[in-house]
Structure 1
Amino acid sequence: MEKASAAPPLHIVMDTYSSKADLANNGSREDLDPYVPADHRPQGSNTSSFGALAHLLKASLGSGILAMPLAFRNAGILVGSVGTVVVGLVCAHALHILVKTSQELCVEARRPCVGYADTCDLVFQYGPKSIRKFAPIAREVADWALAVTHLGACCVYIVVVAESFKQVSDSYGGPDWPVTVYCALTLVPLVPLTQITKLKYLVPFSAFANVVWLVSIGISVYYCLTDVPSLNERDLATSLSGIPLFVSTCLFAMEGVGVVMPVENEMERPQQFLGCPGVLNIAMSAVVVLYGFIGFFGYLKYGDEVRGSLTLNLPQDQVLAQTAKILVALVMMLSYALIYYVPFDVVWRRLQGRVPAAAHRWAVAGIRLLGCLMTVGIACAIPRLELFMELVGAVCLSVLGLLLPAVLETAWRWGRGPCKLLVCKNAVIVFFALLAMVSGVVYSIKGIVDHL
């Protein structure tokens, strides 16, 4: 759902170090000098704490923030406000234990930094003997969860682009085409964009997209705060069936989980990432406040008519509103090209060794084209923005943002000291993640079937 000055864009989530542990057990390292991971990081790892905070905020202020009014529609004004804080706290804690486990693992394994999939792999390799055989499975789960999450986000972006251009076209007497046609037309810019294999060529577009995105959010907030209805016109709470969809949409909105590890890995002083106040705590506090603000006033303004992207609710007859929709569509197309690197990397790392070196260029182009066609095809088949967000949030981000961090901390702490309370706490997080995933998937699939 984001960079040291010398680092690649942090939309790209990839592990930089080998997943093979150099030890087969938890042997003592007391005979070795204390290992400080930050002292051994590459010279490019020089992001300040302020820079890391900026990256986390930028990563979190993606398409998800404009989906928060939809989350409030599913829960109501009061439940949505309280629920945003609760979900934010749970997500912040899960990210905290993920990073803390990773940092302790770096000391144990004597590595400067590790990515998400490496953390999953090494935690099991350094854990109790009974779970070491599951290390490859843990890595695969993390890798494919990241890939599917970003593919789902790609589908969301396509639908936002299509809906935005359709609304603008309809306002100015354009052809009366269905959304599916506009989804298909996104292939025209997306195919060449996804064939760009060097990230440096996308950096200028990314900088432009950041400015445009802030302008779009500002315009949306302006309309939300204009002629605001009374609170009495909105539900304080909805039915229980809306809670799973609220949680799923919130999880999708808090999509920064994919960049937390890369941001920490690029920090000059990673010890300032956690703690109080700490970069992560400040970032998540700001995210919860901003998301709650947009969700509250977006739902208050548009009520049950609110869409999966707030810009789609803006007036059809005002130039400023139409400008915001076009800007958001442009940002989504550029963002698609960036986040598309993640699923491509996961797939290519598994196929690269099976393809002759002379055919690598054609293989890369073919995989990129097929992936682009697949995401556009899915968006054409189900051009419902809300359904995608709820499904991606329910499945992928429940696993990445909640389930895996709790499992990893439990596996890492097991046998390393008292952990009864820790196990109970993580069991609650796992239960919450599974409940959010199962209920969210059920209601999302029901919505898809009803749509079809």
Structure 2
Amino acid sequence: MAICAGAAPEHPPEGRSAARPDFEQPLLQARGVVQARKQDAAAERDHEAQCTPQGDGDGATFVRTCFNGLNALSGVGLLSIPYALAEGGWLSLVLLLAVAMICCYTGVLLQRCMAASPSVRGYPDIGALAFGAKGRFVASAFLYAELYLVAIGFLILEGDNLDKLFPGTSLRVGGLAVSGKQLFVVLVAVVILPTTWLRNLAVLAYVSASGVLASVVVVFCVLWAAVVDGVGFQGKGRMLNVSGLPTALGLYTFCYCGHAIFPTLCNSMKQNDKFSKVLVICFVACTVNYGSMAILGYLMYGDDVKSQVTLNLPEGKISSKLAIYTTLVNPFSKYALMVTPVSTAIEERLLAAGNKRRSVNVLVRTLIVVSTVVVALTVPFFGHLMALVGSLLSVVASMLLPCICYLKIFGLTRCGRAETSLIAAIIVLGSLVAATGTYSSLKKIVHEL
């Protein structure tokens, strides 16, 4: 996530596809309040929390944006996808493809909503354009909550895998002894902290490239463990597990929960009229990677696969160690991408003077990292937490809000009967996934506590 150093520009940056006349003029005339809201302080702060500093007119290239998009969509979900398949059964792979197509389509809807008005710079602005101040609040709440919980999931993942890699590790500081997962969660947070101070997506793209490469390497390591290290493909699995479908759908949706930062990625591009092509490339590549990992992990371990497939890998093998080491790269490369919008929204409300800006940035981001550590130590259930994020927050941010806002902004007559029917079906499906998946995930978390 990159941040805008100053006020949001009055016009779209060069390269942005201009809003189509048949959309923009009637829309803005019917919503004159939107233009007035451009001067509102809260709107300006949300603009700054969502856009990229481009004082020199530069932005991220097409390739860099693809890396950022791939990094946003791939990562920790890759480790839980075999567990999701085990929960739903082989036939649930159809649902994985359906979720991928739906989320790609709703990503395009977000881009269209952004093109409807030059005042739209981020996800909260889309909510404001559609429903005013209440829309801004709802969009912001779900966006920031999703990103925050995903960041917590990163820390839990790191702690679990490092504990498997170095079992029995402990550290004593004064009279306090810390060991196992708790120790590694804290150490990882210390290492990740400096990446949260980066303020430019063009810079983060280099870190994102390492995360994308890591996702591919992990899949090959799991394949190596099966073929060369003797694990084999012994897990037959089930064709369908109806009771596990809510969890499976929640985890599948979590794998594609990049919508919260899509507007930021779009704004960061030099030529953001090409953002729809970025979305297609990212979703196709990630679906191939996710599908490969799901099939491999489920064939190897069947219903015994754990919430992170790396925890199933045989100990002492080079492939297992490489997979875990590589897994550790993803949270390092993605954590800053997740927490930057949250921290920036807080910073813009706390700044007392311009000359204190940098110190406030560092303080706020450090406190956010500390808070995620505390929650990760309190609720260390990776699979259940990610299913909850996917079922509730990701479904709302990735399926429901884009569809509802799009219908509100453009109206039923402009959308057409076929598109309206498709959007309505997505809203119904998303609502069912949210209701059943949230209940199932909360029930499991409470049981574990």
Q: TM-score range by the shorter chain?
A: 0.7 to 0.9
Q: Which amino acid aligns with 1:162?
A: G
Separation in structure 1 between the aligned mates of residue 342 and residue 215 of structure 2, nearest angstrom: 24
Residues 371 and 291 (structure 1 numbering): CA distance in 2 closer, same or farther, change over 3 Å? same
**Counterpart of 1:414 in 2: which secondary structure?**
helix
- Residue number in structure 1 paired with 2:184: 182
**What's the offset of the Cα at 1:439?**
1.5
Residues 24 and 412 (structure 1 numbering): CA distance in 2 closer, same or farther, change over 3 Å? closer
**Counterpart of 2:29 in 1: which secondary structure?**
coil
1:118 aligns with 2:115: no
Residues 224 and 432 (structure 1 numbering): CA distance in 2 closer, same or farther, change over 3 Å? farther
Equivalences for residues 390-409 of structure 1 within 5 A: 390-409=387-406
- Residue number in structure 1 paired with 2:301: 302
Structure 2 residue runs of 5 or longer lacking an equivalent are 12-23, 31-54, 171-177
**What's the offset of the Cα at 1:157?**
0.8
Equivalences for residues 31-42 of structure 1 within 5 A: none
Q: Which amino acid aligns with 2:376?
A: A
- Residue number in structure 1 paired with 2:347: 348
- Residue number in structure 1 paired with 2:438: 441
**What's the offset of the Cα at 1:321?**
1.3
Separation in structure 1 between the aligned mates of residue 198 and residue 267 of structure 2, nearest angstrom: 25
Structure 1 residue runs of 5 or longer lacking an equivalent are 1-10, 29-40, 125-133
Residues 46 and 449 (structure 1 numbering): CA distance in 2 closer, same or farther, change over 3 Å? closer
Normalising by structure 2, what TM-score? 0.78
**What's the offset of the Cα at 1:336?**
2.0
1:375 aligns with 2:387: no
- Residue number in structure 2 paired with 1:36: none
Separation in structure 2 between the aligned mates of residue 262 and residue 199 of structure 1, nearest angstrom: 9
**Counterpart of 1:243 in 2: which secondary structure?**
helix
Contact 1:97/1:409 (CA < 8 Å) preserved in 2?
yes
Q: 2:61 aligns with which of 44, 47, 51?
A: 47
Q: How many residues align?
A: 405
- Residue number in structure 2 paired with 1:57: 70
Normalising by structure 1, what TM-score? 0.77
Separation in structure 2 between the aligned mates of residue 199 and residue 53 of structure 1, nearest angstrom: 12
Q: Which amino acid aligns with 2:79?
A: L
Q: Please, what is the CA RMSD of the aligned residues?
A: 3.5
- Residue number in structure 1 paired with 2:423: 426
Describe the superposition over 1:399-443 as per-residue Cα deviations: whole angstroms up to 9, x where unpaired: 111011111111022265475554443332222222212211111
Describe the superposition over 1:237-292 as per-residue Cα deviations: whole angstroms up to 9, x where unpaired: 11x22111111101111133234334444555555544xxx443343233323222
Q: Which amino acid aligns with 2:102?
A: V
**Counterpart of 2:328 in 1: which secondary structure?**
helix
Residues 178 and 263 (structure 1 numbering): CA distance in 2 closer, same or farther, change over 3 Å? closer
Separation in structure 2 between the aligned mates of residue 400 and residue 16 of structure 1, nearest angstrom: 27
Separation in structure 1 between the aligned mates of residue 180 and residue 329 of structure 2, nearest angstrom: 20
1:229 aligns with 2:233: yes
Contact 1:161/1:332 (CA < 8 Å) preserved in 2?
yes
- Residue number in structure 1 paired with 2:283: 284
**What's the offset of the Cα at 1:348?**
1.9
- Residue number in structure 1 paired with 2:259: 257
Separation in structure 2 between the aligned mates of residue 286 and residue 372 of structure 1, nearest angstrom: 30
**Counterpart of 2:307 in 1: which secondary structure?**
coil
Q: Which amino acid aligns with 2:58?
A: G
Q: Which amino acid aligns with 2:284?
A: S
Separation in structure 2 between the aligned mates of residue 73 and residue 14 of structure 1, nearest angstrom: 43
